[in-house]
Amino acid sequence: MKTLQTYREELHQIPEIGLQEYKTHDYLVKELSALGYQPKTIYKTGVYVYIDYNKKDTIMFRSDIDALRIKEQNEVPYKSRHDGFMHACGHDGHMAMLLGFAKELKHLKNANRNVLLVFQPAEEYPGGAKEIVNSGLLKTYRVSEVYGIHLFPNFEQGTINTKAGPLMGNISLLDVEVHGKSAHAAMKNEGVDALYAASLFYTRLKETLQKRLGKEPHVATFGQMSSGSAINIISNYTLLKGTIRSLEEKTYQLIKETILEIANAIEKETQAKIDVHINFLYPALQNDETLFNNAKKVLNNFSFQELKEPFLVSEDFSYYQKEVPGVFFLLGTKNEAKGYTYLLHNDRFNFDPSVLQTGVDLYLSLIKSY
């Protein structure tokens, strides 16, 4: 039987982006079948296993399976064999933990809940959790609660970190297109400067949100900007690409209203035309307080840290929590002695595979705690 480390290293070598996880799907089906299960496919490349203990309700455990468009820089024997793609967010570890948990469940003759194991595609983008919820899977198997784990290099290896209530923020993609009019730089009055209008828009957005939201956790920022065709020509088009994040729905709505308000004002001031495109992706991740308090009885047997503040990173696990109560855990992987200090989405992210057993033990403790 394969070890957690073997699962992880084999999966690490075949990273695939969302809804293209074909090799990953086949690997999961093969390994789950070898354990004696009858895995089924869901949402193109996802896989699930239902274990019936003849109980009324079901506990669901979820792992994401997709990778990122990142060229790996780690020189390890199990380095990515898909050039330009990498499991830089730890999803290979998440799959290994759920496979290890599936192996342990073969020895569990009875439980107080049925078990649903879901290997979900497209967490990074475009969000497979929503599609799995919409498929009716959770209703079909009477799922009453859901759990998930994410490896997290911000915390020390082996620690389990979480809190009740908001843990992660919602996320939207934000594109702002500014249309101007080209002219020679020496005759600027004949043109409409899209770059200038875009700069005014971004500056004013930052200033206004700071006044309106203060210390309220939020993000409304642009990471990319493209504009212009030559150094001596007034830019007739500028594109800003960024993200909106918040913990509260009212904050998100205020940010949207502010963006549209400022866009309208800058249009009048500069004569540029501004088109705003907001694509909502994932809601905020909210841990159920009752389930969290129940889980604390288990967590006290681990190196557990109850967090005081949430993060503005996002996770589509939140869609499951919109359907049923759930708790999401952050499993620390930081190990300075071994050099495992690179953060998620870094081309050198890595971790000690021994930490995966902690995740399996947590899942087992949760299923046995009822």
**Burial of residue 59 (number of CB atoms within 10 Å: 0-12, 13-18, 19+):** buried
Active site residue 26: no
Please name the residue ranges forming H helices in the chain: 4-12, 22-34, 91-105, 128-134, 137-140, 194-213, 249-270, 289-299, 318-323, 356-368
d(C-alpha 285, C-alpha 329), whole Å: 11
Amino acid code (one letter) for 34: A
Pairwise CA distance, residues 97 & 63, whole Å: 8
Cα 311 to Cα 290: distance, rounded to the nearest angstrom: 21
Residue 302 CA to residue 296 CA, distance in Å, equals 10
Q: Is 370 exposed, middle or buried (0-12, 13-18, 19+ CB in 10 A)?
A: exposed
Q: Which of 16, 21, 31, 124 does the annotation list as catalytic?
A: 124
Q: For residues 126 and 129, what is the distance between their CA atoms, to the nearest angstrom? A: 9
Q: Whose structure tokens read 């990122």?
A: 68
User: Catalytic pick from 64, 123, 193, 288?
Assistant: 64
8 A C-beta contact, residue 199 and residue 274: no
193 is catalytic: no
What residues are annotated to the active site? 64, 124
